[in-house]
Amino acid sequence: MDGLRLAWWAAGEALQTIRDVRELLPVAERHGQDAAVTVYRTVLEADGVKVTAALLKGAAGVIADSEQFDPVQAAAQIRAYLAGEAKPGDPGEAFTAETERLRAVLTRTVERPAFLTYARTHPEQARAVVAELRALLDDIEQAATTAEGPK
């Protein structure tokens, strides 16, 4: 078995049912399987967060370059990252992780019966919130359009 397969197997054994193990391999290779499990569990236990490959990759990126692995410090750094207070090195990863979090929160919110009931009984307030969110999304789109430059 070659080194990469062995690493996947070892990480898979340690993480068992965790999908997207490949995103944790850099952490497992640098700091060991317990470190990869710590990253996963910290993300899993965070409130309002859906575990995705992008989010795991971002969380792993927060601690990937550290020389020594301290589980308590790593968990604190990952929680800060999940709260938007710390970013991994690659801005693309940070953007992807943040959009994944936003999608998860919005999906959960819209699927809640209490939210739907409130939106039906208070349509003006619901429309105001949607308009505010739409304006924020327009700001992001404008920034992306400005970054592209003239066509």
Judge whether 132 lies within some domain: no
Judge whether 38 lies within some domain: yes
Residue 28 lies in domain: 3-111
Give the pLDDT band (50/70/90) at residue 94.
Answer: low
For the entire predicted model, the pTM comes to: 0.51
Judge whether 135 lies within some domain: no
pLDDT tens-place string over residues 37-65: 889 889 888 887 888 888 888 888 888 76
As for how many domains the chain has, the answer is 1
- Please give the structure tokens belonging to residue 38: 């710590």
Judge whether 41 lies within some domain: yes
Q: Residue 21 in contact with residue 12, Cβ under 8 Å?
A: yes
Judge whether 89 lies within some domain: yes
Q: Residue 27 in contact with residue 39, Cβ under 8 Å?
A: yes
pLDDT tens-place string over residues 81-92: 888 776 555 566
Please determine, for residue 17, whether its predicted confidence score (pLDDT) is greater than 70.
Answer: no
Give the pLDDT band (50/70/90) at residue 148.
Answer: low
